[in-house]
Amino acid sequence: QERLVQSGGGWVQPGGSLRLSCTTSGGTFNTYSMGWYRQAPGKEREYVSAGRRNGDTWYADAVKGRFTIYRDNDKNTEYLQMNSLKPEDTAVYYCAARLDSVPGPYAYWGQGTQVTVSS
């Protein structure tokens, strides 16, 4: 069973930056497509970004141009760099993974990390 461990997050003022990390416990990170989702209080979980092993990336319109997803295969880690943060970015952020060769829903999820953007 794959395990995803998240780190990063916290509190930041509007306009600030944070970086989230998601590290897999197994040795098969470079076979995964990775994604990020978030869930704000009282709202459903929503898609934020995704990245495939070949470097293709996608972003939700709400974060495009401000967030960047990237990976370090040597560290088995996916990152989400978040810049120009807004109060509406406040949410619990989750990373997810699935085999890149098997399209479909994500099979593994991180524990979630809180991001709070406020003055």
Q: What are the tens digits of pLDDT across the range 39-59?
A: 999 999 999 999 999 999 999
CA distance 10 to 51: 23
Q: Which of 29, 13, 6 is nearest to 90 (CA)?
A: 13
Q: What are the tens digits of pLDDT across the range 49-91?
A: 999 999 999 999 999 999 999 999 999 999 999 999 999 999 9
Q: State the CB neighbour count (10 A cutoff) for residue 49.
A: 23
Burial category of 69 from C-beta neighbours within 10 Å (exposed 0-12, middle 13-18, buried 19 and up): buried
